[in-house]
Chains A and B, each alone.
Chain A
Amino acid sequence: MYIYDQHDHSILQQRVEQFRQQTERYLAGDLAEEAFLPLRLQNGLYVQRLAPMLRVNVPYGMINSTQLRRVARVARDYDKGYVHISTRQNIQFNWPDLADVPAILAELAEVEMHATQSSGNCIRNTTADQFAGIAEDELLDPRPYCEIIRQWSTLHPEFAFLPRKFKIAVNAAKEDRAASQVHDIGLDLYQNEAGETGFRVRVGGGLGRTPLVGSVVREFLPEQELLSYLDAVLRVYNQKGRRDNKYKARIKILVKAMGPGAFAELVEAEWERIREGYTRLTQDEIDRAKSFFTEPAYSSFDTVAVDNSISELRAEHTAFDKWLTRNVRQHKKADYASVTLSLKPTGVAPGDVTEKQLEIIADLADEYSFGEARTTHEQNIVLGDVAKDKLFELWQKAKAAGFATPNIGTLTDIICCPGGDYCSLANAKSIPIAEAIQRRFADMDYLYDLGDLDLNISGCMNACAHHHVGHIGILGVDKKGEEFYQVQLGGNAGNDTKLGKVLGPAFDADDIPSVLEKILNIFVDNRHEGEEFLQTYERIGMAPFKERVYAKDH
């Protein structure tokens, strides 16, 4: 993981001190509400329905055990003892007091964590694959570049008052797990035929009211030129992006209005002007960033013996077998595995985790995964580097702590925003819908039979739970003060990113589990051998689903 030096610490300390003074001036009445608003947002502080919410960055999802324990302590000392993992890999405190926030930020800064630009019209936390550095299908490790982008974007003086928020994701694997095509900028890290490292640059993806898949504006950007190109994209957006209507202010609207080609021309012209300037990355800097993401001291084992012992344990313990199938993933090293701790047991808001659980995760990370963990965009936590001979032991401990629900990638591994229970933007609640679905579909064998299924629930069209790219997406809508739920089918967030289509008129909250049941029955009745939901949907289309769901009862 990246480790701060004196410069990083000094930058963060200045920021904490700046916000402490701003908060004091605000509380003393010397800083107007409207001027304080963007300042607090850019320090992670929202004011929600019932209380403030503080969003703390987990840069590209990497978090160590010291940081986990500190988050736990803050949740205990300043909050109600639990936090929420967001769909952009960040950690949210739901109930801090405004006056305590400077102290919270100072405590987090001690362990190299910050809330800088986790909100507001600025460059947000850069996200990546939760299996970065350990995935079998990875081409290159994206994390050094994510850290370079984190530093470049942090307190960037020119881009703190953009037309709207700005999100960057970096993918470096064959299978895109970072949803990079629906980000303002999506970067694919790869080596070209000449063996040079660089990026394919997509601009203008996004969800929200106007969901769009990003357009490729540059097929290959040499790694040294990453920051000059980002500067050029942001500069064009900052100057040309719409500011008259916040729903039309994201870069995707600009790119769509100008056309990707015309947009790219402006970017390229500015980039040509600055690419040889001092923002051009040095090899020393790239090497320095890479030096923090070297392999830990992996051991090797008698692979055959370990595999045999796991096979025996699988046969003996059905639950362990299910957990291995759903929650454990092959690591790039044959003797290692990546374990996803499910934060989606029935009855808990998806992505919520208590301070006690955070400390258990910290202990598990220390014992089984070189002291590191990863937050995921699906709102779970990954222990990335687990030796296979420890899997059974880890499973027992994870089970005791409530993390071993073997539902990763299934219908009940729901991506869900905080919704109307917390968020002041929401049109409808989303957590109770998730819970009703989890209760209705509690039969694990049925879930496994359904296979891989992304179900995403957003409480409003801002789409924090990415409902457009769920295989099944549910969107809360408000009609004359009442909450209804629209269902979408056929979305996908992977390499073949697709936006789901609306099934038809919205439903009452109470009807959602039965509607889902009908949809799943259609799938089961029509699927060919080996087909996943999305494949069946693409083959048979929307019509059969629509017919069955909206058929009059006889």
Chain B
Amino acid sequence: MPKIIKDGQVVDDSWQLFELSEDSELANAAVPTGQWIVPLQLWLAQRDKLKARSDIGIQIGIDDDIELLADDYDSVPLLAFDFPVFMDGRGFSAAFLIRDRFAFKGELRASGAFIRDQLCYLQRCGFNAFALSAEDLEAAKDSLSDLQEAYQASADKAPLFRRRG
């Protein structure tokens, strides 16, 4: 089973990515039983059916509008945000909004082309799981704690000026 970093630990990843085949129609594609992460457009096409299950996560792309899920954040167990290139920082703001504006409490996973050296910032923006490809995950997870103290607010922590003794 593939591994990911989740909540600061290297763990087995029990989720699988559901990929649409080229000729499948969104409305008819059948998502088998088990924990599946489905593309946003599939979720939108089969929302009622999929929302009834508790084992469906949603893959969000960099150009997707996170407001489309406004009614889903309180029930979906997992969101996976896909970084096309690590220099594209939109995902940092998206994560912050998903946690702060939409109060999402489930697993927020970074996937795609982000790099180990961004783990610390990604975590502070609200990601708690990291599907890092081609890395020694045990070594990489040390980067989560690169910068333990910070001036600004994080998704789950007040800014330093409210804590400074």
Which of B22-30, B53-61, B104-112, B152-160 is the contact stretch? Answer: B152-160
Q: Which of A18, A238, A277 contacts B90 (CB 8 A)?
A: A238
Which residues of B lie under 8 Å from residue A284 when comparing CB positions? 161
Number of B interface residues in the complex (CB < 8 A): 35
Q: Which bracket fits the contact residues of A?
A: 35 or more
Query: A227 CA to B87 CA in the complex, in Å?
Result: 24
Tell me how far the C-beta of B116 lies from the nearest C-beta in chain A, rounded to whole angstroms.
Answer: 8
Query: A277 CA to B103 CA in the complex, in Å?
Result: 14
B148 beta carbon closer than 8 Å to chain A? yes
Question: B164 touching A5 by the CB < 8 A rule?
Answer: yes
The residue on B at minimum CB distance from A120 is: B87
Question: B147 touching A121 by the CB < 8 A rule?
Answer: no
B16 beta carbon closer than 8 Å to chain A? no
B162 beta carbon closer than 8 Å to chain A? yes
Which residues of B lie under 8 Å from residue A277 when comparing CB positions? 100, 153
Question: B89 touching A22 by the CB < 8 A rule?
Answer: no
Query: A42 CA to B107 CA in the complex, in Å?
Result: 30
Question: B153 touching A278 by the CB < 8 A rule?
Answer: yes
B92 beta carbon closer than 8 Å to chain A? yes
A318 beta carbon closer than 8 Å to chain B? no
B121 beta carbon closer than 8 Å to chain A? yes
Which residues of B lie under 8 Å from residue A14 when comparing CB positions? 146-149
Q: Mark A216-231, 1 if CB is under 8 A from B, else 0.
A: 0000000000010000
Question: A157 touching B120 by the CB < 8 A rule?
Answer: yes
User: In the complex where A18-B147, A278-B159, A282-B161 touch, is A157 in contact with B152 (Cβ < 8 A)?
Assistant: yes
Which residues of A lie under 8 Å from residue B164 when comparing CB positions? 5, 7, 288
Interface residues of B in 98-128 (CB under 8 A from A): 100-101, 115, 117-118, 120-122, 124-125
Q: Which of A152, A160, A285 contacts B89 (CB 8 A)?
A: A160
B93 beta carbon closer than 8 Å to chain A? yes
Query: A155 CA to B121 CA in the complex, in Å?
Result: 8
Question: A159 touching B148 by the CB < 8 A rule?
Answer: no
Interface residues of A in 230-245 (CB under 8 A from B): 235, 238-239, 243
Which residues of A lie under 8 Å from residue B92 when comparing CB positions? 157-161, 238
Tell me how far the C-beta of B107 lies from the nearest C-beta in chain A, rounded to whole angstroms.
Answer: 19
Question: A157 touching B150 by the CB < 8 A rule?
Answer: yes
User: In the complex where A14-B146, A158-B96 touch, is A152 in contact with B152 (Cβ < 8 A)?
Assistant: yes
Question: A159 touching B147 by the CB < 8 A rule?
Answer: no
Query: A156 CA to B93 CA in the complex, in Å?
Result: 11
Which residues of B lie under 8 Å from residue A152 when comparing CB positions? 151-152, 159
The residue on B at minimum CB distance from A235 is: B93
Query: A162 CA to B124 CA in the complex, in Å?
Result: 16
A554 beta carbon closer than 8 Å to chain B? no
A38 beta carbon closer than 8 Å to chain B? yes
Query: A7 CA to B87 CA in the complex, in Å?
Result: 29
Query: A188 CA to B16 CA in the complex, in Å?
Result: 52
User: In the complex where A14-B148, A35-B86 touch, is A157 in contact with B154 (Cβ < 8 A)?
Assistant: yes
The residue on A at minimum CB distance from B146 is: A18
A15 beta carbon closer than 8 Å to chain B? yes
A535 beta carbon closer than 8 Å to chain B? no
Tell me how far the C-beta of B3 lies from the nearest C-beta in chain A, rounded to whole angstroms.
Answer: 19
A-B contact pairs, 28 of them (CB 8 A): A5-B164, A7-B164, A11-B147, A14-B146, A18-B147, A38-B87, A39-B117, A121-B87, A152-B152, A152-B159, A155-B151, A157-B92, A157-B121, A158-B93, A161-B86, A161-B88, A161-B89, A162-B89, A163-B89, A239-B93, A239-B94, A274-B100, A278-B162, A279-B159, A281-B161, A282-B162, A285-B161, A288-B161
- The chain B residues found within 8 Å of chain A, CB to CB, are 86-90, 92-94, 96-97, 100-101, 115, 117-118, 120-122, 124-125, 146-154, 158-162, 164
Instruction: List the 8 shortest-distance A-B pairs measured between CB atoms, nearest first.
Output: A161-B89, A157-B121, A157-B124, A285-B161, A151-B151, A18-B146, A278-B158, A158-B92
